[in-house]
Amino acid sequence: MKKRIGILGGGQLAKMSTLAAYRLGLTVNILEKEKDSPAGKITPNEFIGWVDDKKLLKDPFRSLSMKHVLTRSRSRSSPR
C-alpha cells in the first residue's frame, strides 16, 4: 500500500510539497476551501471543504493516516 499524506490548503506551497511527495512515491490528498487550487490541479485527490466540515472528513479522510500534515498557518507565520 502506498503511503499517503494530507495537506491542508492547496496554494503554491502545497503544490511544491505535492510535487516533492510524488518524487518520493507518496500519494497526496489536498483539502482546500475552493475548487481548482494550484495543488488541486496536479492531484486527483482534491477535496473541497475545510477542517470544520465533519461529514467531509468522515468519508475521504477516514483511511488517511494523518501522520504528516502541512498547514497554511506555517507559511503565514510572521518572520522571527
Q: What is the CATH number of the domain that holds 34?
A: 3.40.50.20
Q: What is the pLDDT of residue 57?
A: 65
Query: Are 47 and 62 contacting, i.e. CB atoms less than 8 angstroms apart?
Result: no
Q: What is the pLDDT of residue 66?
A: 44
Q: Look at the chain and report how many structural domains it folds into.
A: 1
User: Residue 21 in 3-state DSSP?
Assistant: helix
- In terms of residue numbers, what domain contains 68? 4-75
- The residue-averaged pLDDT of 42-65 equals 72
CA–centroid distance for 51 within its chain: 11
Higher pLDDT, 36 or 1: 36
Q: Would the pTM of this model clear 0.85, i.e. be above it?
A: no
> Looking at the domain assignment, is residue 27 inside a domain?
yes
Whole-angstrom Cα distance, residue 67 to residue 61? Answer: 12
Q: What is the pLDDT of residue 59?
A: 60
> Looking at the domain assignment, is residue 80 inside a domain?
no
Higher pLDDT, 43 or 69: 43
